[in-house]
Copies of this chain bind each other. A is one copy, B any other.
């Protein structure tokens, strides 16, 4: 475990305590797994990695723990069309949007401010507060883009 990820874990655990949430083995282990991973892991991926750190952790616990961590704002999830939801630690410094290639399934990162104009326009015109990074947008990546998609 790198010092960077140890620090992420400490911060996240701190948030849990601050909000009166219990710091259990499962929660600490899950945060640790998240801190050491990239941000495209499904609940099942997390359960697999958790099997080493905290064996016997049940799938249902993974889902419930993720829910708790989201509630206190240390975790967030992204929906991938045609695929499982992925989870990641909230990290203001490294936010980015996700683009999913409909052909090869590759996830391409996009700058976090890509939709800033759209957010502004929707707020002004429809009073809709857009949450730009909660779903992956889809399309075709450079190496795939066909004339006509699936």
Contacts and interface: CB of A to CB of B under 8 A. Distances in A.
Copies of this protein in the complex: 2
Contacts of A64: none
A79 to B, nearest CB: 4
Interface in A108-150: 108, 110, 114-115, 117-118, 121-122, 126-132, 134-142, 145, 149-150
A99 B130 contact: yes
Contacts of A70: 150
Interface of A is mostly: mixed
A138 B135 contact: yes
27 contacts: A79-B135, A81-B134, A99-B122, A99-B128, A99-B130, A102-B131, A108-B128, A110-B122, A110-B128, A114-B121, A115-B118, A117-B117, A117-B118, A126-B142, A127-B141, A127-B142, A127-B145, A128-B140, A129-B145, A130-B138, A131-B139, A131-B140, A134-B137, A134-B138, A135-B135, A135-B137, A135-B138
